[in-house]
């Protein structure tokens, strides 16, 4: 029984590590001084002016 639990734990760890590595490999959106959705001028380091714009952008651009 312990061997099965150990093996399941190893698989879970490997899957989690693979997901983390894949997420880190995705290019991030650079801050350009304007909201990616509406174009409004925004503060330094931001990519969206608010949550609504972020959600709208993500609906129209899945995977970004």
Sorted by where each begins, the domain ranges of the chain are: 2-60
Q: Is there a contact between 49 and 42 (Cβ–Cβ < 8 Å)?
A: yes
pLDDT of residue 17: 77
- The pTM is what? 0.56
Name the more confident of 23 and 6: 6
The whole-number pLDDT of residue 27 equals 62
pLDDT for 41 equals: 95
**pLDDT tens digits for range 10-63:** 888 888 877 777 777 666 789 999 999 999 999 888 999 999 999 999 999 887
């Amino acid at each position: 029984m312990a061997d099965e639990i150990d093996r399941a734990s190893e698989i879970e760890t490997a899957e989690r590590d693979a997901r983390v590595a894949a997420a880190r490999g995705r290019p991030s959106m650079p801050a350009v001084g304007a909201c990616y959705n509406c174009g409004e001028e925004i503060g330094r380091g931001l990519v969206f002016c608010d949550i609504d714009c972020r959600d709208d952008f993500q609906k129209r651009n899945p995977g970004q």
